[in-house]
């Protein structure tokens, strides 16, 4: 799923050119014959004609490698490519929490990219590895970042309602989700509870030191195709006023906006005032770059003055995966990290 979306987005990218497509199962086939899309995702004629090559450093000649690998494969393959001199950007999970591997949302913690120098030295790699977070952690962290800067977040209790595309393909059997909600997604809550702390943390001595915030995540799978909805109860050090919170979220901008990167939405966070938004079906393609903005709504007082409640939606395979990773690559490119 995510790999196809990479190819689709990169097919018409102004700064990147797809020069190779790798995959163990379809080696030797043309990409257009190998792919069996579950979505109406297009790709250019040139990319369709590429022959799928093996997932090995020696088989590929490229400056940058996007790695939408399954977890087990990523464990070994990503370091192997980085060691051989490739700049690897991955949204696979195994190396996300390594202390010297940047876990990046370009609007949130672009400064963590300076870990790469230390990483290359310590690991004696010719290349480097950058990661992007879990699809559910992305929306949460983007909402937390400006609120934490302004009000100091002490605790988050979040409940998620996640789309089936988050599980890939074939993923969730239809018998498990039609007329159903499943209050469990394997290994998901751990990621949502820890990844934001790393991204909101600081770099010291070539390593990330986590921010100290308590996060409780309860994750649910629901019968939607794309778009993760999350509802959060947030406690803050300072008094949290709904009007002020909405202003803080609306004004949030990051380096991608300042640098006017191709995949950067004008507004990283869109705030809606209607009582019944965001809705998965209506809001998942929000943003000047469709699917790249997080949509926040239902901003309300919590039970105490130092708390706030809100719901937010992010497109899990765009902002939550391929889109964010390509945005990270654009940022690295602009900063000269791909040269």
Footprint of a copy of itself on this chain (CB under 8 A)? Answer: 1, 37-40, 155, 157, 159, 161, 164-165, 169-184, 214-216, 218, 220, 222-225, 229, 231, 233, 275-283, 285, 297-298, 302-303, 309, 311
Can you name the residues that pair with 229 across neighbouring β-strands? 161, 313
- Contact between 135 and 163 under an 8 Å Cβ cutoff? The reply is no
Instruction: Please identify, using beta-carbon distances, which residue of 1 and 135 lies nearer to a copy of itself.
Output: 1
- Contact between 147 and 246 under an 8 Å Cβ cutoff? The reply is no
Instruction: Please identify, using beta-carbon distances, which residue of 145 and 272 lies nearer to a copy of itself.
Output: 272
Whole-angstrom Cα distance, residue 319 to residue 138?
A: 7
**Dihedral pair phi/psi, residue 200, rounded to 5°:** -85, 0
Bond preceding residue 220 cis, omega within 30 of 0: no
Instruction: Please identify, using beta-carbon distances, which residue of 79 and 278 lies nearer to a copy of itself.
Output: 278
Count of CB atoms within 10 A of residue 101's CB?
27
Instruction: Please identify, using beta-carbon distances, which residue of 256 and 320 lies nearer to a copy of itself.
Output: 320
CB of 336 to a copy of itself, least distance (A): 37
CB of 305 to a copy of itself, least distance (A): 13
CB of 33 to a copy of itself, least distance (A): 12
List 95, 128, 135, 219, catalytic entry: 135
- Contact between 177 and 223 under an 8 Å Cβ cutoff? The reply is yes
Instruction: Please identify, using beta-carbon distances, which residue of 130 and 307 lies nearer to a copy of itself.
Output: 307
CB of 22 to a copy of itself, least distance (A): 23
Task: Give yes or no: 228 in active site.
Answer: yes
Task: Give yes or no: 220 in active site.
Answer: no
CB of 214 to a copy of itself, least distance (A): 5
Whole-angstrom Cα distance, residue 177 to residue 74?
A: 28
- Contact between 154 and 237 under an 8 Å Cβ cutoff? The reply is yes
List 95, 112, 148, 228, catalytic entry: 228
Q: Token digits for 288?
A: 């000047």
Read off the DSSP letter of residue 14. S
Whole-angstrom Cα distance, residue 126 to residue 81?
A: 9
Residues noted as catalytic: 135, 228
């Amino acid at each position: 799923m995510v790999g196809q979306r990479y190819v689709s987005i990169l097919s018409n990218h102004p700064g990147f050119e797809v020069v190779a497509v790798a995959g163990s199962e379809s080696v030797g086939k043309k990409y257009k014959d190998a792919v069996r899309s579950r979505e109406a995702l297009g790709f250019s004629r040139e990319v369709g004609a590429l022959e799928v090559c093996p997932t090995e450093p020696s088989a590929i000649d490229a400056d940058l490698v996007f790695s939408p690998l399954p977890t087990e494969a990523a464990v070994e393959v990503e370091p192997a490519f980085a060691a051989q001199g490739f700049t690897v950007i991955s949204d696979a999970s195994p190396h996300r929490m390594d202390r010297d591997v940047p876990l990046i949302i370009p609007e949130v913690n672009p400064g963590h990219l300076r870990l790469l120098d230390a990483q290359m030295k310590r690991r004696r790699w010719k290349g480097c590895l950058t990661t992007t977070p879990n699809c559910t952690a992305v929306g949460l962290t983007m909402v937390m970042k400006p609120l934490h800067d302004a009000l100091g977040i002490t605790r988050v209790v979040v409940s998620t309602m996640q789309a089936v595309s988050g599980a890939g393909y074939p993923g969730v059997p239809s018998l498990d989700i039609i007329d159903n909600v499943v209050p469990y997604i394997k290994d998901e809550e751990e990621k949502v509870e820890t990844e934001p702390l790393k991204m909101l943390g600081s770099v010291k001595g070539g390593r990330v030191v986590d921010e100290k915030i308590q996060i409780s995540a309860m994750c649910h799978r629901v019968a939607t195709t794309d778009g993760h909805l999350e509802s959060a109860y947030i406690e803050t050090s300072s008094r949290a006023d709904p009007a002020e919170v909405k202003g803080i979220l609306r004004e949030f901008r990051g380096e991608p906006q300042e640098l006017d990167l191709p995949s950067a939405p004008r507004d990283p966070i869109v705030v809606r005032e209607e009582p019944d938004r965001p809705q998965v079906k209506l809001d998942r393609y929000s943003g000047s770059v469709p699917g790249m903005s997080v949509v926040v709504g239902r901003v309300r007082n919590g039970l105490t003055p130092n708390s706030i409640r809100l719901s937010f939606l992010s497109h899990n395979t765009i902002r939550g995966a391929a889109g964010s990773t390509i945005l990270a690559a654009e940022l690295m490119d602009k900063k000269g990290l791909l040269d």
